[in-house]
Amino acid sequence: MKHTPRTALAVSAAAMLALAACAPSSGGGGAAAASGEPVRDGSFTIATNGQEFDCIAPALNSSLNGALAARAFTDSPVWQDPESGEIEPWLVEDWEISPDGKTYTFTLRDGVTFTDGSAWDAAAFKANLDWIVQPETKSPMAASYIAPYEGSTVVDDRTLEVHLSTPYSAFLRVLAQGFFGVISPKQLAEDPGSVCTDPIGTGPFSIVEWTKGQSVTYTRNDDYDWGPPGSHQGPAYLKDYTVLFIAEDATRFSALQSGQVDAIDWVPAQNLETAKSDPRLDVLQVTTPGHPFAWYLNASRAPFDDVRVRQALLHGIDRQGIVDSVLFGQYEASKGFLTSSTYQYSENPVDYDVDEANRLLDEAGWTGRDGDGYRTKDGERLTAVFPMSNTIAYRVQIAEQVQAAAKRDLGLEITIEYPAAQELSDRSRNGDYDISNGIWGTNTPDILYLKYSTDGITTPERIGLNTSYLSDATFDDLVQRARETTDTAEQADLYAQAQQRLVELAPAVPLFDDQRVVAYDKQTVHGLRLDVAYPAVLPHDIWTVGGE
């Protein structure tokens, strides 16, 4: 099947909801459905939140919804088993690792093709890895993930040697993520400018249309026969697959309740109990591995260049109280700098202690008070600027509650700003903020290196993930040794020390472990499951039938 060209479709989200409600959810198959056999040629619509990506290509896409979009049209080299957590073959069928941990020799699966007819072979694998790390690609996260990559050698059509500058224990795990879905080598070579908006993969579907701010529509790849372990063989059961962007939580949940969509992603916390108690619905909920939702404190400039001020904010905010208030008691405050589902997580609770926080601020010299009650030093107010997006309601609510608590309990002024999307992106990349926020999901504790090592600070040559601009030699040594060792016990010990060191350095305020929650109509939707390398809906085995 050739890649389907983009059309001139342009409809509103409301119109898309109407179309979804009117469209049949399957092509028939009542007898097959009654027997539990999958029904083919159905359609499926899932509504997700409003955090849309700038680019839909996996390696260019660090949005919360990036993996959801990418899993429909791309496959990854390897697969993470949802039960054991072990790495298994997918587009590569075997691999060997050299004794020094620097060379991976991959044997590729035969018979796989991209939807433009290009072959998946060693040259295609090499082209993807080379493209990701090129500075001009400006990959916001994949290049950081595989920074040790030095190059590849094509041995033959089905064999690729990958060379790393240092041993890298997380290499296979990150290759399992949806962000490493592979793109057509022909497109990379001949039309790289189209990769951002119209990428071509090997997946069970190909993109029909991405209407920005509204939807992505896909159609089935009828030649597909290489699904991940645990999925059925052959093309997808669905003929049509649609992702809608609905930013308003209430509207998204209402669309599911009214049957306008088949499923919703990011079930709002205020609706979670209702969804679980509804006999028509089923709920999939997993704790996203990686880094908790956090406020990152810019340690490269005042006031957070003083570790005592960072520690004061970390310890002086009632994180559990705020999480309970905003997220309706559904989530727990984080107990460290990894989420509890992350490989080699260790618990490092952070005490809530307003008295200690104020003692630290006194020690840091912020002993004066101005007429508004804010702390001062040398005539300057203790203030921090927080530019953020207002597209996700709970993040705005958390910001406002922390802002109020910081003023009341600490005398710290937090100025919240809502710049336009492009300005916010530019300021984030340039470090023009005191506070930023976000979640970073990944299936490896190496996120500690990526988020907080000196190497993770953005440079003119490479976009880094260290938005705290932390630089600490002790921490750098711990995570570098952890990513290089092949001894699992030693690695776990090093990561445990690194997590404890972060509590001392306080480069961020981890608030809660993110939950990926998907709800769907279990009367009409079958075969829905989540990828675990980065939680996102897998469309491979979904099939739909008409409801009663």
Q: 544 - beta bridge partners?
A: 525
CATH number, domain with residue 176: 3.40.190.10
Answer yes or no: do 81 and 36 share one domain: yes
Answer yes or no: do 176 and 304 share one domain: no
Residue linked to tokens 């989420």: 339
Tokens at 5, concatenated? 């060209």
Q: Find out whether 49 and 247 touch, Cβ atoms under 8 Å.
A: yes
**Residue 51 included in any domain:** yes
Residue 142 to residues 169, 216, 299, 325, 328, Cα–Cα distance (Å): 16, 23, 24, 35, 34
Answer yes or no: do 299 and 428 share one domain: yes
Separation of alpha carbons 473 and 343, rounded Å = 24
Work out the burial of residue 383: count CB atoms within 10 Å of its CB; fewer than 13 is exposed, 13-18 middle, 19 or more buried. Answer: middle
Q: Three-state DSSP class for 9?
A: coil
Mode of pairing for the β-strands spanning 215-220 and 238-245: antiparallel
Tokens at 372, concatenated? 């508004």
Answer yes or no: do 146 and 205 share one domain: yes
Check residue 59 and report its DSSP letter: G
Can you say how many angstroms the Cα of residue 426 is from the centroid of all Cα atoms in its chain?
20
**One digit per residue, pLDDT tens: the chain, 548 residues?**
333 333 333 334 455 455 454 444 444 455 555 557 999 999 999 999 988 888 999 998 877 788 899 999 999 999 999 888 899 999 999 999 999 999 999 999 999 999 999 999 999 999 999 999 998 888 876 767 888 999 999 999 999 999 999 999 999 999 999 989 999 999 999 999 999 999 999 999 999 999 999 999 999 999 999 999 999 999 999 999 999 999 999 999 999 999 999 999 999 999 999 999 999 999 999 999 999 999 999 999 999 999 999 999 999 999 999 999 999 999 999 999 999 999 999 999 999 999 999 999 999 999 999 999 999 999 999 999 999 999 888 999 999 999 999 999 999 999 999 999 899 989 998 999 999 999 888 999 999 999 999 999 988 877 788 999 999 999 999 999 999 998 989 999 999 999 999 999 999 999 999 999 999 999 999 999 999 888 899 999 999 997 44
Number of domains in the chain: 2
**Residue 50 included in any domain:** yes
**Residue 521 included in any domain:** yes
CA atoms within 13 A on the CB side of 329: 1
Separation of alpha carbons 275 and 86, rounded Å = 32
**Residue 404 included in any domain:** yes
pTM for this predicted structure: 0.84
Residue 534 corresponds to which amino acid?
Y
CA atoms within 13 A on the CB side of 450: 26
**Residue 115 included in any domain:** yes
Q: Give DSSP secondary structure letters for 505-517.
A: H--EEEEE--EEE
Please, what is the end-to-end C-alpha distance for the chain in angstroms?
35
Answer yes or no: do 525 and 391 share one domain: no
**Residue 20 included in any domain:** yes
- Residue 289's nearest CA partner among 347, 339, 344 is 339
CATH number, domain with residue 374: 3.10.105.10
Q: Three-state DSSP class for 414?
A: strand
Q: What is the pLDDT of residue 34?
A: 54
- Residue 98's nearest CA partner among 170, 177, 166 is 166
Range of the domain at 342: 290-512
Answer yes or no: do 332 and 230 share one domain: no
Answer yes or no: do 104 and 211 share one domain: yes
Residue 501 to residues 388, 469, 471, 474, Cα–Cα distance (Å): 28, 16, 12, 8
**Residue 1 included in any domain:** no
Residue linked to tokens 């409301």: 14
Answer yes or no: do 197 and 298 share one domain: no
Q: What is the pLDDT of residue 342?
A: 93
Q: Find out whether 518 and 264 touch, Cβ atoms under 8 Å.
A: yes
Mode of pairing for the β-strands spanning 238-245 and 42-48: parallel
Separation of alpha carbons 66 and 264, rounded Å = 15
Answer yes or no: do 231 and 301 share one domain: no
Q: What is the total residue count of the chain? A: 548
Answer yes or no: do 336 and 469 share one domain: yes
Q: Find out whether 50 and 392 touch, Cβ atoms under 8 Å.
A: yes
Answer yes or no: do 267 and 351 share one domain: no
**Residue 2 included in any domain:** no
Separation of alpha carbons 415 and 413, rounded Å = 6
Separation of alpha carbons 353 and 189, rounded Å = 57
Answer yes or no: do 20 and 35 share one domain: yes
Q: Find out whether 213 and 245 touch, Cβ atoms under 8 Å.
A: yes
